[in-house]
Amino acid sequence: MSKEYLGEFEELVLTMVGVLGEEAYGNAVVTAIKDRLGRDSNLSAVHVTLYRLEDKGLVRSTMGGVTNARGGRRKRIFTITNAGLSMLRTMKEARMDLWKLIPQLDITTA
Partner 1 sequence: MQRHSVQPPAIALRFLRWFCPPALSEGIEGDLLEQFEEDCANVGHRIARRRFTWQVLRFFRPGILLRNKLSYTLTPASMIKNYGKVMLRAMWKQKTHSAIHILGLTIGLAFALMIGIFVHQELRVNASLHDVDRLYMAETSMADGTFWRPFLSPAPLPSAVTEQYPLLFEGYYRFWDKMITVSREDQHFRLQGQIGDSTLVSLLGLPVLHGDAVNAFRDTRSIVIAKATALRFFNRTDVVGETLTLSGESGDNKRYDYTITAVLDDLPRNSVTDLVDMDAQIFLSVQKNDVYKLNDPEKWESGVMVSYLRLRSGAMRTDAEKAIANVMQTQAPEDLRKLTVTLNPLRTYYLEADDGRVKKLLYTVSAIAVFILVLAVINFINITIGSALGRLREIGVRKAVGGRRGQLIAQFLAESSALSVGAFLLALGVYALARPYAGDILGILLPAVSDLGIVFIGVMLLITLTVGVLAGAYPAFLLSSYNAVESLRNKASSGKAGGLSRSLVVVQFILAMGVFAFSIVITRQVAFFLQKDLGYDKDYVLTISSVPRRWSEEGVRSIEAARQEFLSLPMVKDISLSWEIPAGNYGNQVQCYRQGVDEDKAVDMPLLMTDEHFADTYGIPMKEGVFLADEQHAWHLGDMVINESAGKALSVNVGDKVRIKNDTVVFTVAGIIQDFHFFSLRENVKPMAFLHTRGTKAFRHFSVKLEAGNMAGAVAAVEAKWRQVFPDDPFVYTFMDQELARLYKNEMRLKKASGVATGLMLVIVFTGVFGMVSLAVSKRTKEMGIRKVLGASVDSIIVLMSKPYLILIGLACAVATPLAYYFSAQWLQAFAFRVPLAWWWFVVPVVAVLGLTLLLVAARSMRTALANPTRALRYE
- Which residues bind to partner 1, rule: CB under 8 A? 25-27, 42-45, 47-48, 51-52, 61, 63, 69-71, 73-76
| Gap between the Cα atoms of 83 and 57, Å rounded | 7
Of 38 and 72, the one with the shorter C-beta distance to partner 1 is 72
Query: Quick one: 7 exposed, middle or buried, by C-beta within 10 A (0-12, 13-18, 19+)?
Result: exposed
* Minimum gap (Å) between residue 52 Cβ and partner 1: 7
* Minimum gap (Å) between residue 103 Cβ and partner 1: 41
Of 43 and 105, the one with the shorter C-beta distance to partner 1 is 43
| Gap between the Cα atoms of 55 and 7, Å rounded | 15
Of 65 and 103, the one with the shorter C-beta distance to partner 1 is 65
Secondary structure element (H or E) that encloses residue 11, with its range = helix 8-20
* Minimum gap (Å) between residue 91 Cβ and partner 1: 22
Of 68 and 109, the one with the shorter C-beta distance to partner 1 is 68
